Amino acid sequence: MLIPAFQLHLTDAIQQRAVTVGKYDGVHPALTAATTGGKVFIHSPHQEQDQPQTQYLNINKQITALTAGALEPALGRDLLLVGTPNHLQAYDVHKNQDFFFKEVAEGVNVVILGIAGTCEAPLAIVGCNGSVQGFDAKGQERFWTVTGSNVSALALCDADGDGQNELLVGSEDFSIRIFKGENVISEIIETDRVIGLTPIHHTRFGYALANGTIGVYEQSVRAWRVKSKHSVGAISSYDLDGDGIPELISGWSNGRMEVRSDATGEVIYKDILPCSISGIVRGDYRCDGTDQIIVCSTEGEVRGYLPADPEVSGRQVEETAHQVAIAELSQRRQELLVELQNYDAQIKAAAGQQERGPGLPLELGGQIPAITKVAVAVRVSEEARSCSLHVQTNSEECVIRGVVIFADQVFEGESLFHYPNSPAPTADIPLKLKKDVAVMLLVKVLVALRTSAVYHVFEEELQLSRYAMYASSVRGFVSEPESYVTFATSERVSRLAMWLEHSFPDWSASAAGVGPSSDSLRAAFVSLRDGKPLIIAMTARAGGQVTIRTDSMELAADLVQEIAAYLAIEQLDCQADFPPELAAFALVLDRVDELNAARLKMTGAVADSSNVIKSMLVKAEDARILGNMPSMKKLYGRLMDLNRELVMEHEKRATNHHDLLEALRLVNTMIQRAARLRVGEPKARVVAACRQAVKANNVQALLKIIREGHA
Amino acid sequence: MELQLELIRNDILQTAPAAPGTLKVLPQGHNKQQKVALGDSQGVVQCCSIKKGEVVAAFKALPTGQPVGAVTLGKGQNQRDKIFIASEHTIRGLSKKGKEFFRFQAHLVDAIRTLHVADASMWVTGEFVMHQFLNNKEVQFYQAPDRINAVEVVPVKEDLLLAVLGCQDRTLRVLHNSQVAHQVQVEGAVTSLKYILDSHDPGQINIGRREVLYGTDGGILGQLFLDSEGFRRGWTVPNPNRRGAIQAIYSGIDFTKDGINDIVVGRDDGWLEIWGMDDAAQPKLVFSSCLPESIISLDGGFFTSPNVQDVVVQTFSGKVIAFAEPGAGLGSPLKRTKKEEAPQDRIRALRAELAELHARVDKERKHFAQISASLAPSIASVTLQSKFVLDPEEACYVLTLESGTPIASVALQSSVLLDLQDSASNSAILSVTPSNPDEGSATLATYRCPESATRVEMRMRVVEGQHGSIQAFVIPQRAPKLAQAVTQRIRPLCLHQRVEALAGTPPMNELRVSGSFSMAEIHTWVLFCLPEVPQRPASPEEATLYFRSSLLGTQLACQYKAGEAIFRGDNVSSLAVLREALMGEAASQKARISVSFCLEAASVGHVVGLLWPRFAEQRSAARRGLLLTALQELKMQDENVDYLTPEYKAILADADKSRQAGAGNKADPLRLEYLSGVFKDLYLDWQRFNGLVAPLHRIPQLAAVLHDPQSTQLEVVAFMLQQR
């Protein structure tokens, strides 16, 4: 148990993940957090006697992100950065004035402050719906890139060990992308929405997911992870045990705060707050020269923890560790003894068996024949339109009583339990995979004799290919989609065939008649989700021209990235056309214009109505003071009508804003997909060119870039 | 003043999983330090003591494969250091050196579960029966109507030892000459009993009476006084934190130094509690600690050191743990220097032993692999304990599984649609598989356990009316990979609990069932419909049972005999469920029955009245919850909110208060929905019983009445009784 160094009860609620500490006067730290009603409170315990400890800032908008730091180093004090659904605001708390106020139409989901890569000055890095933007102290855009999905977490960490910070971007499409400048140098696919990222030290960083997983990556390799059924409120890192290496600190919805070893994930300390944790920050809140870790809960409870004295804590830890070790070793010893006994008993049973002769029935209280084996395989069938796991025992008497499959990402939960109503020696378990990912299926098959209540557990591991939900169309005949992407490689056809065999369980080179010297290939598939066709073809022309035909641009982009990675292609440009998707995209662009125009009009209308209300309120109050009751009643009646109108207007604006956000997200997603049809330099070029075209509002150019890679 | 003890935990040793009541601390001999005798499910019996911080075995028998069911010490003058062991049907007497001086085969139907020995007398029980042997001859026999969970032998008078049985049907029975001499009903199924020699009776009111403490499956601890006249009640300790069933009670150490021995309680959810006595001679909690597995036996004595007494705890998986005050035990100041080395020495010794064992296991594994081509994994004795109890306040059932070896995962299947809840007390990760009713499974789910967990708790919310079975497959983490299944039933009226008698005289509806059925048949039907019904009827002619809905407080009386059964209940919905289930059961057994009702219109008003206060409270809490955010914003904006109405001010003040108390006192929307659902069912069932077509089309109107914050109880009742 960790003892807090200090504990505060603030009267204000603290919004999830919107807490920071800033030295707004350059010296004294102040805890700053978003609270109810679009307000920010600043709690500064080191104020002069006559000053209130807490002051409030009225943002009057929903606050989506908050951070503080020295954005302008020349200033010598911290600025407060506040993100709202359509603005980023930098605020100078000391002078009580705005530093800059920048419109961010895509909405600010998360904001951090720091120096990324080779930049010299710190940037305010903002994660939006589909993009990441960086602003300097003047509010100028210095950085822009797309991320495919809504950004939900950001961190700066030297993830590749080159001495410079890379930008880690976690998003709602379950991925953590590592950006070096505007290029993605590494992409990690996780199992749920990424809701927290934190640098730990050197190349290590921690992450948190919406499904209650936290873990640590070393470069792009996962060191450990743990999953809890509670949700993560916040993560951070700090060296609390005094061993010189920071630990991963996590706060949970049930109020639990845990300190875990960065290397192993072992819990070193824990504490429990009375309600769920909304933020963890660090700062020298006591002004005594050492940082504390400050844990805040949603109800305003704040606890600060000091790093432990290594001497004292070490001994305590050691003593409890001894007890734990003894208990654990005893347990292990007991298990080994039991195992030994089992072997003994079985060898005896076997001896007995031999004496009685082989002709006698084998059953001994549910024992199944020794030669019992269980085979598991994935079966993809075009006729049945299904992908299923086929499980079979090699004996008629041994039936399957249940199958449990554990796998990440592809099921609703983390597992699938199949319970056959009438047990049989075979079972077909339909797999309705949610995503196209290559996963390891951990299959546990419960096998028993028909009458027995003892179940033998057979465990099998099975690698599921990424495109298991695509059935090879045997006749090779599917209607050819008009959308395509085509690119040149300098590879032989047989290499692509190898990749196809690796990625599509239902396709084999021999069945398709592709040999080592074939100079063309055509593989046709049907999606088992929606029945849509997919064709991958290659000809030896121009050194190896690959064409992918599918109506889904996303699928095409995934395939291009996969092929490029498999064939180790570093630069890849392409020609593409996706008429239905691009037509839909053109409509989206029109819609963005429309929504923007409507928004401006409505903002004007609101200003008008609020002026009317103000004047009418004065008149009504005058009437009341003069005792003119009928007139007052009338005026207040009209005020009420106006109010109702305003509420309606507000609803319209909210819908408009929501639609606009969605449309902008679609635009960014499209840019991301267009980029992902390419690899290396062409990819970065497409992102930059698209941004230019969007800024210039040049729709034709934008579509051309998407198709051809340049304007 | 709040007195809190500080006790230090010492892990002593680990055996195979053990049965309750298989650990005893031997009395002091020449040496002040005492020994502990224990048995386990492998049949190992051992006796050990602590010398110089090390566990030293006085004797240790080889495993027999016959699980030890009970370990006891003789109560007679000259046999107090004699160890008596029951395994399966065999009773053995061992000296403290491990020499067998006595052996007896008791011919019981099932394995012996409890054993008591006093001179030449032995009391043994199986699941339902008790035998008393005197000089190896049977002198007493009793068959209980429900399971016998706990037994004590109490010297009710000088030279008169009587057996007290704690039974599943919430009854304590005192037996004399194969007859029940006295019995008393308590708050729940009796799970443990303890005869207390030094009575907790400072007032000396009960001189001459013997004190017996009991614990129930609902976690209540109670005190009773027994003499030849019968029972007299003492205090009871409620269980507000809803901890587990009490599995073991011990009282022999005075930790609080107030001259009265404290009461140590061990629960099946791992809680160890010590209760001292306050000035009014009422128990108060002075220590509690939670172990990761269930506690099955408790005893105490000078075990780890000659200076201070320990409480010795035995857990389900066979861990033996001693708790003693600091500055003593293994860590006494005299031995301070020793102690610092002691754990390291132990760890070193254990590591060495483990390495050796690893080598042996590896060898055996290889050896086994060679011959195992012709061999399947055999059935090892994997012990599994399961409990399925109702949590009345949450209207949910809790299935607890505990295994002797670590559990990897549990797969759950049920024909009933279950609303699986997250449980605060375990960290297993629940993952629900989309169900496939065609396959006969309405619920499929897995619980994945963290490393080395041996206990899993699964909470499931149920509604009355549907019934079926739940199967849980326990998949172990390590070899041998053998899964076991536990099956439990959800009964049609699963949220009812047995009570002794009806409270008050509520207006009752009557459901009369008649036909050519026997007493045994109707008893099995009732057993099928309701929980806590004994396996056999208490009397072969006629039975009367009373129930109370734990959630709603409505009541039900069942009176049945061959050919006729009368069910009276204030809630027509319960009777409707009962009718459906009885007809279904009768039809499946091809029995012909006829059903008639006698309805009481006042019962509708009565049931609505029972629920109304809770419903109204939930309804207004939900409304307050909605208003609160807006009000808090106003308060922040304006600082001074004197202009608000008193109601709104009260909401703000309450919110502050509940926040300071650290409890989120928010309305649970599910509960509100649940209560509205009960009203809707009541309305439909009432109309249906009145011979009308179920007025489903009027349900939205009823919902509107219920959700209107102004509607009153009378309006709702009037709506329900309207006949259209």
Q: Please, are residues B264 and B255 in contact by the beta-carbon 8 Å criterion?
A: no
φ, ψ of residue B53 in degrees (nearest 5): 75, 10
* CATH of the domain spanning A470-569, picked from 3.30.70, 3.30.530, 2.60.40, 2.60.120: 3.30.530
Interface A-B, measured as beta-carbon pairs within 8 A, has a size of: 217
Amino acid B658: pLDDT: 62
Amino acid B244: pLDDT: 86
> For the segment B521-539, what is each residue's pLDDT rounded down to a tens digit?
899 999 999 988 888 787 7
Report which listed range, A342-351, B385-394, B451-460, B469-478, is most confident.
B469-478
Q: Which of residues 460-479 of B touch A (CB under 8 A)?
A: 473, 475-476, 478-479
Pick the more confident residue, A49 or B521: B521
Question: Domains, chain B, ranges and CATH?
Answer: 384-490 (2.60.40.1510), 496-598 (3.30.70.1400), 603-721 (no CATH)
The yes-or-no verdict on residue A357 having pLDDT over 60 is: no
The yes-or-no verdict on residue B376 having pLDDT over 60 is: no
> For the segment B705-722, what is each residue's pLDDT rounded down to a tens digit?
888 888 888 888 888 887
CB contact, 8 Å: A414 with chain B? Answer: yes
> For the segment B569-610, what is each residue's pLDDT rounded down to a tens digit?
999 899 999 999 998 888 888 888 898 888 888 888 899 988
Helices A699-708 and A579-626 sit at what angle, rounded to 10 degrees? Answer: 140
Residue in A58, A227, A229 to test binding to B, most B beta-carbons within 10 Å? A229
> For the segment B625-636, what is each residue's pLDDT rounded down to a tens digit?
788 878 877 877
| Closest B-chain CA to A12 | B636
Amino acid B666: pLDDT: 46
DSSP secondary structure, A99-141, as one string: EEEEE-TT--SEEEEE--TT-SS-EEEEE-EEEEEEE-TTS-E
Helices B713-721 and B699-707 sit at what angle, rounded to 10 degrees? Answer: 170
Amino acid A349: pLDDT: 62
CB contact, 8 Å: B139 with chain A? Answer: no
Amino acid A394: pLDDT: 85
Q: How far is CA B285 from CA A656, B4, B300, B618, in A?
A: 60, 8, 18, 33
Structure tokens at A183: 């290029």
Pick the more confident residue, A710 or B563: B563
- Cross-strand pairs, A204: A201, A218
* CATH of the domain spanning A10-236, picked from 2.130.10.10, 3.20.20.70, 3.10.110.10, 3.40.50.2300: 2.130.10.10
Amino acid B663: pLDDT: 43
ipTM for this model: 0.75
Q: Please, are residues A21 and A29 in contact by the beta-carbon 8 Å criterion?
A: yes
pLDDT band of residue B375 (cuts 50, 70, 90) is: very low
The yes-or-no verdict on residue B166 having pLDDT over 90 is: yes
The yes-or-no verdict on residue A359 having pLDDT over 60 is: no
Q: How far is CA A418 from CA A276, A392, B442, B459, in A?
A: 36, 14, 12, 21
Which residues does chain A have within 8 Å of residue B635's beta carbon, measured at their own beta carbons? none
The yes-or-no verdict on residue B332 having pLDDT over 70 is: no
The yes-or-no verdict on residue B333 having pLDDT over 50 is: no
Amino acid A437: pLDDT: 84
Amino acid B410: pLDDT: 93
* Contact: B343, A330; criterion CB under 8 Å: no
Amino acid B173: pLDDT: 92
Beta-carbon count within 10 A of B180 CB: 13
CATH number at A374-460: 2.60.40
CB contact, 8 Å: B13 with chain A? Answer: yes
Pick the more confident residue, A317 or B170: B170
| Closest A-chain CA to B639 | A56
* Contact: B371, A13; criterion CB under 8 Å: no
Which residues does chain A have within 8 Å of residue B360's beta carbon, measured at their own beta carbons? 336, 340
Q: Of A566-580, B209-223, B317-331, which range is least confident? A: B317-331
Mean pLDDT in chain B? 83
CA separation for the pair A297, A35 (Å, rounded): 12
| Residue B12 amino acid letter | I
Nearest by CB to B434, from A300, A325, A412: name it. A412
How far is C-alpha B632 from the chain's CA centre? 44
Task: Please name which of B625, B636, B626, B627 lies closest in space to residue A39, comparing C-alpha atoms.
Answer: B636
The yes-or-no verdict on residue A56 having pLDDT over 80 is: yes
> For the segment B218-256, what is each residue's pLDDT rounded down to a tens digit?
889 999 988 888 888 888 998 887 888 999 999 888 888
Amino acid A431: pLDDT: 86
CB contact, 8 Å: A41 with chain B? Answer: no
The yes-or-no verdict on residue B68 having pLDDT over 80 is: yes
pLDDT band of residue A560 (cuts 50, 70, 90) is: very high
Structure tokens at A232: 């993560």
How far is C-alpha A156 from the chain's CA centre? 16
pLDDT band of residue B70 (cuts 50, 70, 90) is: very high
| Closest A-chain CA to B342 | A322
CA separation for the pair B669, A483 (Å, rounded): 49
pLDDT band of residue A292 (cuts 50, 70, 90) is: confident
> For the segment A464-475, what is each residue's pLDDT rounded down to a tens digit?
888 888 888 766
The position carrying tokens 């196809």 is: A500
* Contact: B376, A370; criterion CB under 8 Å: yes
| Full 3-state SS string of B334-357 | HHHHHHHHHHHHHHHHHHHHHHHH
Amino acid B77: pLDDT: 82
Amino acid B412: pLDDT: 92
The position carrying tokens 């109370």 is: B548
Share of chain A above pLDDT 90, in %: 16
Which residues does chain B have within 8 Å of residue A455's beta carbon, measured at their own beta carbons? 473, 482-485
Which residues does chain A have within 8 Å of residue B8's beta carbon, measured at their own beta carbons? none
Torsion angle of alpha carbons A567, A568, A573, A578, nearest 10°? 50
Mean pLDDT in chain A? 84
Which residues does chain A have within 8 Å of residue B448's beta carbon, measured at their own beta carbons? 406, 414-415
Q: How far is CA A183 from CA A9, A124, A576, in A?
A: 45, 19, 22
Structure tokens at A402: 């249940």
Beta-carbon count within 10 A of A656 CB: 17
Share of chain B above pLDDT 70, in %: 90
Amino acid B152: pLDDT: 92
Task: Please name which of A305, A328, A183 lies closest in space to residue A237, comparing C-alpha atoms.
Answer: A305
The yes-or-no verdict on residue A449 having pLDDT over 50 is: yes
> For the segment B94-130, what is each residue's pLDDT rounded down to a tens digit?
988 888 888 988 887 788 999 999 988 999 998 889 9
CA separation for the pair A329, B354 (Å, rounded): 8
CA separation for the pair B7, B276 (Å, rounded): 14
DSSP secondary structure, A581-620, as one string: HHHHHHHHHHHHHHHHHHHHHHHHHHHHHHHHHHHHHHHH
Structure tokens at B555: 């009541």
> For the segment A79-135, what is each residue's pLDDT rounded down to a tens digit?
999 998 888 999 988 888 888 888 888 889 999 988 877 777 888 999 988 889 888
* Contact: A421, B441; criterion CB under 8 Å: yes
Q: Which of residues 82-111 of A touch B (CB under 8 A)?
A: none
Amino acid A312: pLDDT: 58
How many angstroms separate the CA of residue B361 from the nearest CA in chain A? 6
> For the segment A645-668, what is each residue's pLDDT rounded down to a tens digit?
888 888 988 898 889 888 888 888
